[in-house]
Structure 1
């Protein structure tokens, strides 16, 4: 198995040096860029397994880096690191295609756990033989990461595919939040995050006829979510 390559785009040198030291101690190859423009150049030249991205950068922002990346590479796992702790900042980052969002200052153990989890899930997904998921007016190729919907064609991110896979394997069942966070993100059960909820909102926007009145991606209050492939018809 090849050594995973992690690209870190972070302009604060003391933060970058600490992360690089610990990531390399874990056995990863690390590339470092201090601006969004430099990071995008490295993404063109290098085979990267994971992008760790700061938002507040000189030149173009981390948001813009994520947007440009997703136009050509919908699958690369992206972990945002930012001091921006407000909900709207997290939602914006996730809406642009990031897979997870960690607020500065953060625990080094938590950071390394997120990295390991994202790399493991990416490897796990790529090794799977997967099939199509069909419901409503949607047909999703979980191998190619493409979908046909009532609104047209779209390409899914790696993290969207992981979440769909976990839900599809338990279609019709209530899937607890802790299980979804563990299997789709590799997070510990006690992790407090709105990442899962933001991803469910995104899937509803893609696949529900009326995202405000979901029929397929249902919330089970106090527990988690349930994927319903064939909702009961209403009179």
Structure 2
């Protein structure tokens, strides 16, 4: 049975989430503060997904999301869904940049949230399936099975989303992929925010893998159409 941690200080919202996920056969643990969440993360063993409210009484979801991603406790690649009343583009981009995989604005539909949780759990299971292929390009190597990237032999640290976008494009060298196609593949139809978040992730990937991010060798922009990975 999948285990989900819900970090939310509003008891009514927690009950709604627990009811929605419990009906899907998902075990839910709840925390009302960052401190309680930290204790559960450290003491209750690994979770399969975290639902994290932006505003908490003793911290904020942004800081907690960063700590989870940097914890080294095996939670680095666990899907995180951010909950927030903030629906502006800047807030959505900030949430995704710090490591959240999805962003849901309040008030939300319990059925929609449950659907997004199911989709993330499915993708988490599919990512665990063995893949033996390694993609090699001039100066760049992408190990799909171990989800590792090397530039000129040196390891490159990518976030979960950055790796998935890079692997998606690199698996289709020479093929032009627009933002909507990348969103559908990576988020599985679960993201309804600003498509330009793709541009933000691409920019971050370029700064990590490109010898000259201003003149990219690997991920090229096709103006008015999308992005294309080099065929070389």
- State TM-score, norm by structure 2: 0.85
2:97 to 53, 74, 95: 95
For 1:121, what is the secondary structure of its paired residue? helix
Structure 1 residue 93 displacement after superposition: 2.1
For 1:129, what is the secondary structure of its paired residue? coil
Distance 1:99 1:205, change over 3 A: farther
Name the stretch that deviates more: 219-228 or 163-172: 219-228
Q: Equivalents in 2 of 1:225, 1:110: separation in Å?
A: 30
- Kept in 2: contact 1:6–1:28 (CA 8 A): yes
CA-to-partner distance for each residue in 1:12-42, whole Å, 9 max, x for gaps? 1111111110011111111111111211221
Match of 1:13 in 2: 11
Q: What's the C-alpha RMSD, in Å, of the aligned pairs?
A: 2.4
Q: Equivalents in 1 of 2:48, 2:87: separation in Å?
A: 26
Q: Equivalents in 1 of 2:142, 2:101: separation in Å?
A: 19
- Kept in 2: contact 1:55–1:82 (CA 8 A): yes
Distance 1:132 1:112, change over 3 A: same
1:30 to 21, 28, 31: 28
- Kept in 1: contact 2:169–2:229 (CA 8 A): yes
Matches within 5 A, 1:84-163: 84-149=86-151, 153-163=155-165
- State TM-score, norm by structure 1: 0.84
For 1:101, what is the secondary structure of its paired residue? strand
Q: Equivalents in 2 of 1:161, 1:27: separation in Å?
A: 30
Q: Equivalents in 1 of 2:217, 2:112: separation in Å?
A: 35
Q: Equivalents in 1 of 2:52, 2:184: separation in Å?
A: 22
CA-to-partner distance for each residue in 1:153-181, whole Å, 9 max, x for gaps? 34333333332332232221112433322
Gaps of 5+ in 2: none
Match of 2:63 in 1: 64
2:55 maps to 1:46: no
Name the stretch that deviates more: 81-90 or 55-64: 81-90
When the two structures are aligned, how many residues end up with a matched partner? 227
